[in-house]
Amino acid sequence: MRREVTLRDVAELAGVSSRTVSNVVNGYANVTERTRVRVQRAVDELGYRPNVLARNLAQGRSGQIALVVPYLDTPYFSELLQSVIRTARARGYNVLIDQTDGDPEHERAFIAHGSRRLLFDGVIFSPLGLDQQALADHDPNLPLVILGERTSDGTFDHIGIDDVAASREATEHLLDLGRRRVAAIGDQPYATGEAAQRRTRGFREAFQARGLTVREDLIISTPRFNRKDGAQAMAHLLDLEDPPDAVFCYSDLVALGAIRTLVSRGLRVPDDVAVIGYDDIEDGRYSNPSVTTISPDKEMIATTAVERLLLRIGSSTPPPAVELRAPHRLIVRESTAGRVTPPAR
C-alpha cells in the first residue's frame, strides 16, 4: 500500500523548507511567486493533500467560512455560490450558507462582535439591509470580505463591479439603436438601495453625455429585482400615454418579467420595445428572446473573495483593506438585436 505523502516529501522535491510548503498550502502572502509555483508543482506531482482537520485544530480554526447573501432564489447569487464553494473546497474549506432576506438584524448578527463563536473563521457578505454606517460597526477581528455596492472602511476588503459605468454602457447601447423613449426599471431611492442608485446614475449619465433629457416618468422603482416586479413595472409603463420604446432593467429577472408583459400585450421584442438586463444569468441566455445583458465576471468575484478572505484568516496581522473592481462586458442578444435569420440553403 502506498504511504501517505507528507509535507516533508513536498519540501524535499521542491527544494524548500517544510515551513515554506506550509505557507504556500495555507495561502500565506510571505512567499515569492517563483517559490509558490515550484511548491505547487511539487504538490500536484506528488498528489499531496493537507490534513485539514489537524491543521485547523492546531491553528484554532473551524475550517469553515460563511457566505451570507440576501436571497438564494436569485440566480445571480446561486451562480456565485457555486463558484465560492468550488474555490473554497479546493483550499480545504467548507462553506456555510445563510439567506438573510435583507433583514438588518439577521445581517448584523453575522458581523457583530463575538460572531466567530458561530463556528466560522470568516465571512463573505453581500449586505442588503445594512447601510454603510451599520457595516462600519462590525467586529474588527472578524475576517470579512464585502460584495456589492458598499465601500470599505479600511478593515475589510470590498469586491464589486463599476455599476455606474456598466449601466451607462447598457443605456448607451439602447441609445445607439436609435431608441429615445428609454425607461429604467429597478430604482431604489432609499438608504440601502446603493446598487440601484448607481445604476440609475449610469442611466442618467448616458443621456447627459448626448445632451438628451431623461423622462422622469420612465424611471420606475421596484422593491426587489425579480420577475414579478419587472412585469408589474412594465405594465405601468405601457399604460402611459407615451410608452417607452426601450427598457433598461436592473437585473435579468426584471427583464424576463418585463418581456413577459410585453409579449402578453402583443408587442414584439425588440421591434416594438428593446430590453436589456443585468447579471447574465443562465435563464436569460435560453429565454425567448434571449436577453441582452451586462455580464459581471462572477467567477473572478467568487475566486477573489475566497482568496482575500483566506489571506485575512491566515494572517496574524490583518493585511491592508483593498477595493477591487471585477470586469464586466455587454453581451448583445436577441432582446435588442433581434433574431439572426440563417442563410437559405
Let me know if residue 26 belongs to a domain: yes
- Considering the domain architecture, whether residues 229 and 185 belong to the same structural domain is answered as yes
Let me know if residue 1 belongs to a domain: no
Q: CA angle, corner 309, sides to 304 and 313, nearest 5?
A: 150
- Considering the domain architecture, whether residues 81 and 157 belong to the same structural domain is answered as yes
- Considering the domain architecture, whether residues 213 and 152 belong to the same structural domain is answered as no
- Considering the domain architecture, whether residues 198 and 115 belong to the same structural domain is answered as no
Give me the number of domains the chain comprises: 3
pLDDT tens digit at each of 345 positions of the chain: 567 788 888 899 999 998 888 888 776 667 888 888 888 888 888 888 776 555 655 556 678 999 999 999 899 999 999 999 999 998 889 999 999 998 999 988 888 876 655 578 999 999 988 877 788 788 888 899 999 876 666 778 999 999 999 999 999 999 999 999 999 999 998 877 888 999 999 999 999 999 999 999 999 999 999 999 999 999 999 999 999 999 999 999 999 999 999 999 999 999 999 999 999 999 999 999 999 999 999 999 999 999 999 999 988 888 888 999 999 999 999 999 987 655 555
Let me know if residue 345 belongs to a domain: no
- Considering the domain architecture, whether residues 149 and 168 belong to the same structural domain is answered as no
- Considering the domain architecture, whether residues 217 and 110 belong to the same structural domain is answered as no
Is residue 279 a contact partner of residue 293, using CB atoms and an 8 Å limit?
yes
What DSSP element (H or E) covers 223? none
- Considering the domain architecture, whether residues 205 and 187 belong to the same structural domain is answered as yes
Residue 228 is predicted with a pLDDT of 97
- Considering the domain architecture, whether residues 115 and 37 belong to the same structural domain is answered as no
Which structural domain, as residue segments, surrounds residue 144? 61-161+298-327
CATH assignment at residue 44 = 1.10.260.40
Let me know if residue 344 belongs to a domain: no
Q: What is the DSSP string of 83-130?
A: HHHHHHHHTT-EEEEEE-TT-HHHHHHHHSTTGGGGT-S-EEE--SS-
- Considering the domain architecture, whether residues 193 and 122 belong to the same structural domain is answered as no
- Considering the domain architecture, whether residues 208 and 220 belong to the same structural domain is answered as yes
